[in-house]
Structure 1
Amino acid sequence: MLGFVGLDDREESAYRALVGVGAAAAPELARRLGAAEDEIAVALRRLERRGLAAPSPGRPERYVAAPPAVALGALLSQRRHELDQVELAVSALAREYRVGAADMAAHDLMEVVTGREGVRHRFEQLQLGAREEVLAMVTARPMAVTGRENTAEERAVERGVSYRVVVERGMLDRPGGLLELSAALGRDEQVRLVDSVPSKLVVADRSVALVPLTGGSASAVPSALVVHASGLLEALVGLFESVWEQARPVRLEGGTAEVSDPEGPDDTDLRILSLLLAGLTDSSVAKQLDLGLRTVQRRVKRLMDLAAVSTRMQLGWHAYERGWVHRQQPAQSDEALRGPEVGVRDPSHTRPLTRSAD
């Protein structure tokens, strides 16, 4: 954990042990940690140079741990400053790249990557570098990275990057296909299903794309084309959007993949709507439905896009107009006491989902 501030594993374990006992000599720490005495002695001298430990007054063979908040705080501030400098350098390089991109030759706008490891590295790099959105088309046969191996996807989603993925139906028939789909849906990615996609494709922030050059042959050496901002990249984004429009949203029911209606909300959307119309905040809705706050906000944004509205007040009206919600009239004797109730239609059309508007 403390490797971020420059400590190796031996230094970190020695410092933690020293904090626990207050003061100790190298032989004592070595016995406590089950390590060689000379290794601990070296670690203590390094901790001393970093300001994390100091010889005890009157007993120089014993070391005393420096207060973590002070000593580690200083190292952390230094790392933050270094990261700020790196960020400034990256921003400057990005500006230079944008200025020079207009004058780039055609061959500079594309890059060929060969070999499984090279393709894998570029695939992960695109996702980890994305800031807002990743578009992807997935075929039944992976080229270099399977869904279970794609750890960069989970890390990108945790940073707030949204994913829109079109999956080829045959992908669900391969071993682990349903598990990969379930994991993607669990991360609240938007996933749609088609019978076949024209090609594998990954696009990050609509600024760079990765498309394979080799076919699905197991004997072929994987190779891919990295496409930067250009007319070709715009064509690839247009291809994705065309396939996305033809695809159908997918969800898992009883261990099988089912296609849902792309024009309407699912049952989770309807429950979110019912609670919002009842006056709950996004945070309260998230707690009530055991969802993440970002998940609730993303679903509300999707509902606003479906309704083609820009405010939540408009969303409430359009939800009523489209039949997503309805007002239920309570019995006359109870109306004065309870006020109106807001309901949403159940996707199965078998029961209303209601929440008091009080």
Structure 2
Amino acid sequence: MLAAIGLDEAHETAYRTLVAVGAAEVGDLAHRLSLGEADTERALRRLERHGLAAQSSAGPQRWVAAPPGVALGALLTQRRHELEQAELSAALLAEEYRARAGQTAAHDLVEVVTGTTAVAQRFLQLQLGATDTVCALVTGAPMAVSGTENEAEEQAVGRGVRFRVVVEREVLTLPSGLVELGAAMGREEQVRVVDRVPTKLVIADGATAMVPLTSRALEPAALVVHASGLLESLTGLFEAVWREALPLRLGEGGAVDEVVGSAPDRVDLQILSLLLAGMTDASVAKQLDLGLRTVQRRVKGLMELTGVTTRLQLGWHAYERGWVTR
């Protein structure tokens, strides 16, 4: 809990114990901590440097805890100041980077990252640095990093970053495939499925992309692409695959419950036609002898299938795809 202010677990335990007893001899504290007296005294000296403990006037071997409200408050204030300074430095560096972006040479628009550790680290940096959206194409082939489950992804989701993921169908057959997809969908990530994806791909905030490099080398390599025409092409590739992919639903126990079909059935078409004729959901339900929730669920499924967010867009897509006519 106190690692943020520079204390490791051992020193935090020593401080908590000293707070609990108020004051203690080195030997007594060593017994409570199950440490040697030399290690206990070193821990107390470090607490003293942080202003969390002090030697008692009763004797050099007796120590007292500093009041947490005062001592920890001072440390927190110092750390806040340091974080503010770091945040200011980061903002200045970002501004300098943006100012030079227009003067960036063509060869600086891409990076080649080689080696399992380097590729994994760069991938994590993309997700940790994302603030809005992460888009990913995931294949069933082995990769240096997982495309569906890692701590950075969970942290990003916790910050409100939206994930749009397309996996190829082979991923569903992998031993841990459904478990990882279930965890991703449990975090409210959007997951779709296609038979095959053209390449592994990760795009963070529409500003940086990462794709693997085909190589005969033993170690994996990846290409990191910054804002450029190439990045726009990769973004267009993802959106094209996303439009053709089918939304995935998992049932109880993580089994594949439904992959929305590539075209609506007869009832869906009837619902669409009546809605486009201006009828309300309730009127459509009554006309087709369906439950209101059934109508609304089918409409939601059609919106997921077409990748739209409004019914107006759904009507346009239905016409464009030939599901309905004028």
TM-score by length of 2: 0.79
- Distance change in 2, residues 1:201/1:147 (3 Å): closer
Contact 2:166 2:194 (8 Å CA) reproduced:
yes
Which residues in structure 2 correspond to 1:25-44 (within 5 Å)?
A: 25-44=25-44
Q: Is the 8 A contact 2:206 2:235 kept in 1?
A: yes
RMSD (Å), alpha carbons: 2.7
1:236 aligned partner: 234
Question: Which of 206, 220, 223 is the aligned partner of 2:221?
Answer: 223
Find the residue that maps to 2:184 and give its secondary structure. helix
**Contact kept? 1:214, 1:221, Cα under 8 Å:** no
CA contact (8 A) 1:24 1:63 kept: yes
Q: Which has the higher strand share?
A: 1
- 1:279-316 Cα distance to aligned partner (Å, 9 max, x none): xxxxxxxxxxxxxxxxxxxxxxxxxxxxxxxxxxxxxx
The whole-number CA distance in structure 2 between the counterparts of 1:89 and 1:127 is 21
Residues 1:152 and 2:156 aligned together: no
Letter of the structure 2 residue corresponding to residue 236 of structure 1: L
Q: Whole-Å Cα distance in 2 between the matches of residues 18 and 120 of structure 1?
A: 42
1:249 pairs with 2:247? yes
Please report how far the alpha carbon of residue 345 of structure 1 lies from its aligned counterpart in structure 2 after TM superposition.
3.0
The answer for the alignment partner of 2:73 in structure 1 is 73
Query: For the structure 1 residues 327 and 80, does the alpha-carbon distance in structure 2 shift closer, same or farther, using more than 3 Å as the test?
Result: farther
Structure 2, gaps ≥5 residues long: 265-274, 299-326
Contact 1:15–1:47 (CA<8 Å) still a contact in 2?
yes
Conserved in 2, the CA contact under 8 Å of 1:171 and 1:177? yes
Output the amino acid matched with 1:170.
Answer: E
Q: Offset at 1:110?
A: 0.5
| 1:66 CA drift (Å) | 1.2
| Aligned counterparts of 2:259 and 2:154: Cα–Cα separation in 1 | 24
Deviation at 1:3, TM superposition (A): 1.6
Equivalent position SS for 1:345: helix
What is the alpha-carbon distance in structure 1 between the residues aligned to residue 160 and residue 207 of structure 2? 18
Residues 42-99 of structure 1 deviation map (CA, whole Å, 9 limit, x = unaligned):
1112212211112223334211111212211111111111111111111111111111
Q: Among the aligned pairs, what percent are the same residue? A: 56
Q: Call closer, same or farther: CA 1:324–1:139 in 2, change over 3 Å.
A: farther
User: Which residue in 2 is equivalent to 1:19?
Assistant: 19
Q: In 2, are the aligned partners of 1:324 and 1:344 still within 8 Å (CA)?
A: no
Residues 326 and 345 of structure 1 are in contact (CA less than 8 Å); yes or no, is this contact kept in structure 2? no
Deviations 1:257-299 (A, max 9, x none): 52126999xxxxxxxxxxxxxxxxxxxxxxxxxxxxxxxxxxx
The alpha-carbon deviation at position 198 of structure 1 amounts to: 0.6
How many Å separate the matches in 2 of 1:5 and 1:200?
Answer: 40
In the TM superposition, what are the counterparts of 1:128-277 in structure 2 within 5 Å?
A: 128-147=128-147, 150-214=150-214, 220-254=218-252, 255-260=255-260
Q: Secondary structure at the match of 1:144?
A: coil
Q: CA deviation at 1:10?
A: 2.6
Shift of 1:327: 9.8
Aligned to 1:112, the other structure's residue is in SS state strand
5+ residue gaps, structure 1, are 265-317, 330-341, 350-358
Tell me which moved more, 89-98 or 51-60: 51-60
The residue aligned with 2:85 is 85
